[in-house]
A and B are shown apart, each in its own frame.
Chain A
Amino acid sequence: MQGGGDRTRGPRRHLMQDEKPSARADLFAGLAFLAFAIAIIIGSLMMDRLERLQATIYTAPGLVPALLGLMLAAMSGLLITRAIRGGALVQALPAFRPAQHWRLAVSLVLCLGFALGLVGHGLPFWAAAALFAGLYVLIFQFEDRRRDGTLARGVMFAVAYGLIAGLVNHHLFQDVFLVRLP
């Protein structure tokens, strides 16, 4: 299969948000999709065929998922083959530098913590949203504030911002949009 790179030559290429991943990344993606496709096929084949309800092979609930699983498996195979031809097996694994990913990790932890830990567990929504937004701003501004010697102001700003964000969101959605909040 062609990579489709032709269409991204020239000016469009540098504007694409997603850079092309390495052949090794493609290999892992292909393997993950292949495992997913095999799981779908196995799940579909093991599914009740409902013969007692006069279901035929064409109306069996697992028919379409099994066909989709087969298609996905075939395409994963092509992606794996393409990645191997592209040198996935001879490429060295890039060194993992946790420091480069701290922003992503912190963002993920804060978002998951808010959605799974704070919301829907008895805390009023405005308070949960205020805590999340304030903490988010404080953590991501922490380094700059400490360097500039404005940490105390940063804390006050984060608290104020969190409260405003939480209260505005809460009242806007509950009282204006009439949306039920978690």
Chain B
Amino acid sequence: MLDGLAGFASAIAGFLKPLPIFVALVSSLVGFMVGALPGLTATMAIALMTTLTISMPSHLALLVLVCTYVGAIYGGSRSAILLNIPGTPASAASCLDGYALAQQGRAGHAMGIATSGSVLGTWIGMFFLALFTPVLGEMALKFQAYEFFWLAVFGVVISGNLTGNDPLKGWMAGFAGLFIATIGQDGLFAHDRFTFGIFDLSGGISLVPALVGAFGFAEVLTVMQEPVRKAIINAFDSVIPRFRDVAQYWRTVIRSGLIGTGVGIVPGVGEDVAAWSSYAAAKRASKEREKFGKGSVEGLMAAETGDNACVPGAMIPVLALAVPGSAPAAVLMAAMLIHGINPGPLIMVENPTFVYQVVAMMFLASIGILIYGLTLTRPLIWILQFPKLLIMPVVFVLCVVGSYAIAQRMFDVYVMLAFGVIGFILRRLNFPMAPLVLGIVLGDLLEKNLRRGLVLQDGDLTLFFTRPISLVMFLLVAATVLSNVPFIYNGVARAWSGLTGGLRRSG
């Protein structure tokens, strides 16, 4: 514990120089603005910033990305409160009580709650990021091919199950992503697969252009297909967070922080699920349940604490296992690789200070959102009313520049276009994008470890199911899939209600 604290203090000291502070403040502001604008997501912002910061030193580039991530997740609450439109999917839960408070003339109070919830959520998540990453990393050192294979399958299955509203389509998107990762030369024999003689495809599909397409270009098409209307904003009161709110709902803050962090750790399940889970848990435990959805301070606090706690939570599996906890974290992981940092079980051996640097980056970002939360209220209204028609062509120009910048080749621009069009169509058909992205990231891990496990055991699959951690992961995958089969789901529900009914009667 003391080692962690010392590591954190040393990392903070390293960033307390004019340039990193300036970079942190500017990138938190960029994230905040992008997050506040409906239609521009955190994933898109980080993907674009990854490409634009490619020539920066690694610690500054990652500081930019982490601050953009935290700022964007927080910024989404502003349009949720003022417009009833979540700026990012993470803020959808905040619309319920945030907008209701705004309609009562308490939008400033709601923004204050969002600020305090977001900052506290980030701090709770940061604490667990510093605490859990070394432990999980140490545990992961015991992982062999069998466990890594199931980890990849588990990531895709759980992400497909929890993101979007149709698990079957989520899994299909995830497995399509796993397949996309196999395009190009295979890892053992450098044999070209599905390249159709296209030289550039031999290196595979790069993650960042694919993400810029799926989250940037697809978003431009989605926004522009409907007429753009001018935002109408309610009047608001003071935005200064009230200590009383935090003191009154401290249990909700801690519970939501824990839930948010926990959801973040689960591969591929992002901030939106964290916010909804925290909101639902707060509603269940609340003494003021009837106020939820009608302007509940507790509900808004829960949603905002949960989604921001998810950000550091999503970084835990990135750093310890090289498995992203959310779609934006997948981009951050790709950025780390581009900058020569190899996340995974060996990070605490090879680069132990890096984990605390990430915690320090989160802390600086939380200070950034606190400052902007208190000061940028009037300019924010101008930002929210800025016509989307003027933003979208610039976003697309950024998509083109960003895709090209990684390797200076037009091929990546074509990849971005293809993923943009396919991503748009898939979204219209209700296929979620997060499992697809996670599949592309985890495809290599899955393939390498499946083949390695098969070769080591000469085709015998026993160890995939009998080693303790493998068995647990397999059971989790099986339970996740089976819970979506109606007769099993209904049967378990009947058996459970029979059992609890019997217990109640006997009690």
A residues with CB within 8 A of B: 1-5, 7-8, 11-12, 15-21, 25-26, 29, 33, 36, 40, 43, 47-48, 50, 53, 55-59, 61-65, 68-69, 71-72, 75-76, 78-79, 82, 101, 103-104, 107-108, 110-112, 114-116, 119-120, 125, 129, 132-133, 136-137, 140-141, 161, 165, 169, 173, 177-182
Contacts and interface: CB of A to CB of B under 8 A. Distances in A.
B188 A61 contact: yes
A50 B220 CA distance: 44
Interface in B13-62: 51-55
A116 B417 contact: yes
Interface string B284-295: 000000000100
A125 to B, nearest CB: 8
A47 to B, nearest CB: 6
B153 to A, nearest CB: 10
Contacts of A137: 389-390, 393
Interface in B42-100: 51-55, 86, 89, 92-93, 95-96
B389 A141 contact: yes
Nearest to B38: A17
Interface of B: 51-55, 86, 89, 92-93, 95-96, 161, 164-169, 171-172, 175-176, 178-179, 182, 186, 188-189, 191, 193-194, 217, 220-222, 224-227, 276, 293, 389-390, 392-394, 396-398, 400-401, 404-405, 408, 410, 413-414, 416-417, 420-421, 427-431, 446-447, 450-451, 454-455, 458-459, 484-486, 489
Contacts of B54: 179
- Provide the main secondary structure of the chain A interface: helix
A114 B417 contact: no
A169 B182 contact: no
A47 B53 CA distance: 39
A64 B446 contact: yes
Contact of B394 (A47, A119, A133): A133
Given A26-B429, A75-B175, A17 B89 contact: yes
Given A57-B459, A61-B191, A63-B451, A4 B221 contact: no
A56 B227 CA distance: 57
Given A2-B167, A59-B455, 14 more contacts: A1-B486, A2-B485, A5-B166, A18-B428, A40-B179, A58-B455, A62-B193, A68-B179, A68-B182, A107-B220, A178-B55, A181-B404, A182-B404, A182-B410
Contact of B167 (A4, A11, A72): A4
Contact of A18 (B92, B168, B427): B427
Nearest to B439: A68
A72 B51 contact: no
A26 to B, nearest CB: 7
A119 B217 contact: no
A128 to B, nearest CB: 9
Nearest to A62: B193
Closest 4 CB pairs of A and B: A58-B454, A136-B393, A107-B224, A104-B225
Given A75-B172, A79-B168, A180-B408, A133 B397 contact: yes
Nearest to B162: A7
Contact of B431 (A29, A59, A114, A125): A29
A104 B221 contact: yes
Contacts of A3: 165-166, 168
A5 B47 CA distance: 31
Contact of B276 (A12, A36, A136): A12
B389 A115 contact: no
Nearest to B485: A1
A125 B404 CA distance: 12
B447 A112 contact: no
Contacts of A101: 225
Contact of B52 (A63, A165, A173): A173
Given A72-B175, A133-B397, A112 B417 contact: yes
Contacts of B429: 21, 25-26, 29
**Residue from A59, A69, A115, A173 whose CB has the most chain B CB atoms within 10 Å:** A115
Nearest to A43: B194
Contacts of B193: 43, 47, 61-62, 65
B489 A107 contact: no
Contacts of A17: 89, 222
Given A18-B428, A20-B165, A179 B51 contact: yes
24 contacts: A1-B486, A2-B167, A4-B164, A4-B166, A7-B165, A15-B86, A21-B430, A50-B189, A61-B186, A61-B191, A65-B193, A68-B179, A75-B168, A103-B226, A103-B227, A107-B224, A111-B417, A112-B417, A114-B396, A114-B397, A132-B397, A133-B393, A165-B394, A179-B51
Contacts of B427: 18
Most buried by B among A19, A65, A178, A180: A65
A11 B227 contact: no
B140 to A, nearest CB: 22
Given A1-B485, A71-B175, A64 B389 contact: no
A65 B400 contact: no
A54 B88 CA distance: 51
A132 B395 CA distance: 12
A15 B92 contact: yes
Contact of A115 (B166, B176, B413, B451): B413
Contact of B179 (A61, A65, A140): A65
